[in-house]
Amino acid sequence: MIRKLHNKIKNNEIISDDLVKEAITNAEKSQKELNAFVTIIKDAKRIKSDNLLSGIPVAIKDNFSTKDILSTGSSNTLKDYIPYFDATAIKKLQESGAVIIGKTAMDELGMGGTGLIAATGPVKNPWNINKITGGSSSGSAAAVAAGIVPYALGTDTGDSIRIPAAHCGIVGYKPTYGLVSRFGVFAFASSLDTVGVLSTSVEDAAIVIDQIKGKDEYDMTSWNSENINLLNSLDGNVKNKKLFYIKEICDINNYEEKNDEVIKTLKEFNKTIKKCKELGIEIEEESFDQKLLDSIYPTYLTIASAEATSNMSNLTGIIFGPRGKGNTIDEMMKDHRTKGFSSLIKRRFVIGSYVLQKENQEKYLFASAKVRHLIVNKMNELFIKYDGLILPASSEPAPNINGIRSSHLRTEQYLAIANFGGYPSITIPSGFVNDMPIGVNITGKIKDDANILNIAYTIEEKLGYKNQTTKGWK
């Protein structure tokens, strides 16, 4: 999509200004039904360049710091926060001439996987507005799936790019941890947070990450990737590539609720596997200890909550954010935090704080971090033999909005494996179940993004859902 738009602009078939105007108009028109944006930037600025992204509109998840543009992280604690500096990824995007037309709503500060927990209200799925988008990069996923922008930046801590991508029928790519700088991205869980992209094709995802990746002096966990060029790695050659899937995750017998959607989703996954084999990709089954698989979600919850409660203790309304009421500074901070955070966040904070307590660390946090270690060791071992892990991105398509309780406990979060080990992981659309899109996910070894993207690119070609958007806002 990006290359096509770029060529059209270059050949004067379309004017960038019109493209941008159209995106802004569509964004505005979509708000009432999708509610994907926190801010729509009508006077979007840009610089001109020869870059593939030049003149093409983009939407940014609201947890990126954008200079002079409201950046709330969809939290009331930051409801009026206007940063005076850009995140590194934003700076690099702007250097390419990309035009930021809006900031997208998200589950508050990245927490929650539904898309329902933004300060600006729930984000709706463009395929069916009674369905959730998944989260936390909900607005970004909705905006791309609705064709408002060809791509959007997101962040992924557990599956926050890859689940909404699956639910919205688009591509969601979480690169290797540190491939893109986290500077200026509101921290959720520092050892898991990754900047990534939502787009309608693997090629577009490659173009965008090529532009924003790189070692950043302001993020010590970023690393030098000069030898990686994702776009040039997409050659469609998957000869001798080997993938595995985890038997227990793909076996209907392991699911408590054997409903129609799960059955169909797993069936679709089998079809996808068959098509992959037709491409010449070797696919094998590997078995995991069910206990270990069941531990992924609580382990994730424990680690992410512990890191989050510490990371977000800077949100007190003293230096930024609305000052709370009270006679003492503690009262002010408490008022700010009590009113500013949603119930879900508070719950995570309390859990995080509980597991961080000295007397609980061993039993909770360290035990979880050891499970994380075990899983990463297992994966690293498998990645000696295989290029990647292939899984259904979700065991079902997007659920109904009104079917979700606010205290909804998710127990399935297999995609977090990629965050545990910092692995590159990409979801691509793989079909439909009951008229809602589903996706397939591929996860590979660290710094092997080029290989994983090329495999995804080749499978995408075969599956035929490239450049897929809903027709609603075009």
Catalytic residues: 61, 136, 160
407 near another protein, judged by CB under 8 A: yes
Q: Which is nearer to another protein, 26 or 413 (CB)?
A: 413
How far is Cα 62 from Cα 139, in angstroms, rounded to an integer?
9
65 near another protein, judged by CB under 8 A: yes
Residue 34 — φ and ψ, nearest 5°? -95, -35
Residue from the set 286, 294, 448, 461 that interacts with another protein by CB under 8 A:
294
230 near another protein, judged by CB under 8 A: no
255 near another protein, judged by CB under 8 A: no
Stretch that binds another protein, among 197-205, 245-253, 310-318, 461-469 (CB under 8 A): 310-318
Q: Which is nearer to another protein, 256 or 278 (CB)?
A: 256
Residue from the set 121, 326, 403, 464 that interacts with another protein by CB under 8 A:
326
How far is Cα 62 from Cα 37, in angstroms, rounded to an integer?
9
Shortest distance, position 275 Cβ to another protein, whole Å? 31
Residue from the set 37, 173, 186, 245 that interacts with another protein by CB under 8 A:
186
Outline where DSSP puts E strands in 96-192: 99-104, 124-125, 128-132, 151-156, 171-174
Q: What angle do CA 175, 177, 179 make, to 5 degrees?
A: 65
Q: What letter does residue 216 receive in the DSSP assignment?
A: B
Stretch that binds another protein, among 31-39, 60-68, 167-175, 248-256 (CB under 8 A): 60-68
Shortest distance, position 163 Cβ to another protein, whole Å? 19
Q: Which of 57, 161, 148, 50 is nearest to 106 (CA)?
A: 161
31 near another protein, judged by CB under 8 A: no
Q: Which is nearer to another protein, 211 or 309 (CB)?
A: 309
414 near another protein, judged by CB under 8 A: no
293 near another protein, judged by CB under 8 A: no
Instruction: Give the per-residue contact string, 336-365, with another protein (x = CB under 8 A; - = no).
Output: -xx--x-x--xx-xxx-xxxxxx--x-xxx
Contacts to another protein from residues 271-290, by CB under 8 A: 289
**Would you say 53 and 97 are in contact if contact means Cβ atoms under 8 Å apart?**
yes
**Would you say 325 and 339 are in contact if contact means Cβ atoms under 8 Å apart?**
no
Residue from the set 275, 322, 462, 472 that interacts with another protein by CB under 8 A:
322
Instruction: Give kind and range of the element (H or E) at residue 437.
Output: strand 436-444
325 near another protein, judged by CB under 8 A: no
Q: What letter does residue 363 receive in the DSSP assignment?
A: I
195 near another protein, judged by CB under 8 A: no
How far is Cα 11 from Cα 192, in angstroms, rounded to an integer?
42
Instruction: Give the per-residue contact string, 364-403, with another protein (x = CB under 8 A; - = no).
Output: xxxxxxxxxxx-xx--------------------------
220 near another protein, judged by CB under 8 A: yes
Q: Which of 162, 178, 244 is nearest to 215 (CA)?
A: 178
How far is Cα 195 from Cα 12, in angstroms, rounded to an integer?
33
- 274's CB contacts (< 8 A; 6+ apart) are none
Structure tokens at 429: 């659309």
Helices H, strands E: what count in the chain?
14, 13
78 near another protein, judged by CB under 8 A: yes
